[in-house]
Amino acid sequence: MKKRVILMGPPGGGKGTQAKSLTAAMHIPHISTGDMLRAARREGTELGKQADRYISAGQLVPDDLVNGIVAERLSSEKDGYLLDGYPRTIAQADALEAAGEKIDAVVLIDVPDELLVERIVNRESCGQCGAVYHKLTMPSKKPGVCDACGGALVQRADDNEKVVRDRLVAYHAQTQPLVDYYKSRGLLFHINGNAAVDVVFEEIRKALEF
């Protein structure tokens, strides 16, 4: 089983949804830099304040800020992890390598741009446990309430059409170069994300051999 895993893909591509199922099945922690930055923002820390203006504008938070929180977190994870949304730049990938982290697999969940905007503007997530829903194709049983924990569902402020388009620009310019970076290291698994959630999960399961 491959236990140090990076999950890559465009915004709205299904990383968060797959990450929840994968980490439960593989018994490894889910480390999402987006979740960590949003938590810092809620807590009003200095990092949260600095990150907020980038997140709200659909831009990437500067590498040194993100590298700092990830390095601190990974130092305590010896038995594997799933990184969701990190690294997002070559500089972040270099920092991970320089820290001596030996990655077993990089899973790219690929979805065409034209489908992503529709997915994101219809997305809502639980403010408590982070479970993700789609208002039309994967709604919660009771509107506005999380099936998993009963928490209130909210729409992320950066999940609107204008910001999503900027996030896509950032993805193609800054994150997509990582595809070749990890392909050249023999670590990349390319998964078609334009399929049902359980079909995508099964493809990833096969790639990660668990």
Chain residues that interact with ligand AMP, rule: CB under 6 A: 11, 33-34, 37, 54-55, 58-61, 66, 85-86, 88, 92, 167
Q: How far is the CB of 117 from ligand AMP (least distance, A)?
A: 14
Return the residue matching tokens 């620009």. 169
> Cβ distance 93 to 181 under 8 Å?
yes
Q: How far is the CB of 119 from ligand AMP (least distance, A)?
A: 12
Closer residue to ligand AMP in complex, CB, 125/200 = 125
Residue 17's Cβ-count burial label (10 Å; 0-12, 13-18, 19+) is buried
State the Cα–Cα distance between residues 9 and 128, nearest whole angstrom: 24
123 is an active site residue: yes
Closer residue to ligand AMP in complex, CB, 69/188 = 69
For residue 136, what are its two tokens? Answer: 């039309």
119 is an active site residue: no
Closer residue to ligand AMP in complex, CB, 94/210 = 94
> Cβ distance 77 to 67 under 8 Å?
no
Closer residue to ligand AMP in complex, CB, 96/208 = 96
> Cβ distance 159 to 151 under 8 Å?
no
Contacts of 89 (CB under 8 A, 6+ apart): 60, 63, 174, 175, 178
Closer residue to ligand AMP in complex, CB, 128/210 = 128
Q: How far is the CB of 82 from ligand AMP (least distance, A)?
A: 13
State the Cα–Cα distance between residues 172 and 169, nearest whole angstrom: 5
- For 95-151, the DSSP string reads HHHHTT----EEEEEE--HHHHHHHHHTEEEETTT--EEETTTB--SSTTB-TTT-P
135 is an active site residue: no
Options 135, 156, 183, 205, the catalytic residue = 156
41 is an active site residue: no
Options 4, 15, 20, 119, the catalytic residue = 15
165 is an active site residue: no
Options 20, 38, 88, 119, the catalytic residue = 88
Q: How far is the CB of 132 from ligand AMP (least distance, A)?
A: 10
Q: How far is the CB of 123 from ligand AMP (least distance, A)?
A: 10
Which residues participate in catalysis according to the annotation?
15, 88, 123, 156, 167
